[in-house]
A and B are shown apart, each in its own frame.
Chain A
Amino acid sequence: GENVEQHPSTLSVQEGDSAVIKCTYSDSASNYFPWYKQELGKGPQLIIDIRSNVGEKKDQRIAVTLNKTAKHFSLHITETQPEDSAVYFCAARSRNTGKLIFGQGTTLQVKP
């Protein structure tokens, strides 16, 4: 079945350093890849997304890269700040069903 693997499960960085979270997906027909940030006790919020016809997208300190051949995509956060601390989820959308398949989540801790 459709599956998304996300690594690492926890990530601790020093303020100002970069953080990278990686995801791989199984359904080659997936066409949309959003990243969500979830703060404690709240619902996830979209921070960036990428379509399958694009290889890279950047929004200020956040960037996402997509390698369709290898079926993996990554989130890059530069100049991390303590407020970046949260759980981050990747997801892949099935073109056939329209459903989002989520990764297991990465808990990012940015130490001041």
Chain B
Amino acid sequence: DGGITQSPKYLFRKEGQNVTLSCEQNLNHDAMYWYRQDPGQGLRLIYYSQIVNDFQKGDIAEGYSVSREKKESFPLTVTSAQKNPTAFYLCASSIDSGGDTYNEQFFGPGTRLTVL
């Protein structure tokens, strides 16, 4: 079964704690993305990676960190520096992301993070 998996589906953390959200894809896609979704707003890009061992900040990277050590994995860490971390987090992947090519982004099911 090909696709993108995110775990866990629901995550609770105490204020001041770091937490890591998992994203795995078996689509052999080069590019991977993390988005944040808040009620009544569109998806906002946190970080993206076009290739292994490389990633770039998106529009709202402050308080987040990522790594891309393997092609299939792109974990997101929400640090204690993120002032308002409660949100729905979506991971996506595509074959590639640059130049004149335009390929569909496939989304995972999301992780809902709640800070208590």
Contact = CB atoms under 8 A, between A and B. Distances in A.
B1 interface: no
Interface residues of A, number: 25
Contacts of B4: 43
A43 B109 contact: yes
Interface residues of B, number: 27
A7 to B, nearest CB: 13
A9 B40 CA distance: 8
Interface in A82-112: 89, 93, 95, 98-100, 102-105
Contact of A43 (B31, B100, B107): B107
A95 B92 CA distance: 19
Interface in A33-50: 34, 36, 41-46, 49
Contacts of B100: 31, 95
A75 to B, nearest CB: 15
A89 B31 CA distance: 21
Contacts of A45: 107
A99 B40 contact: no
Interface of B: 4, 31, 40-45, 48, 50, 58, 90, 92, 96-100, 102, 104-110, 112
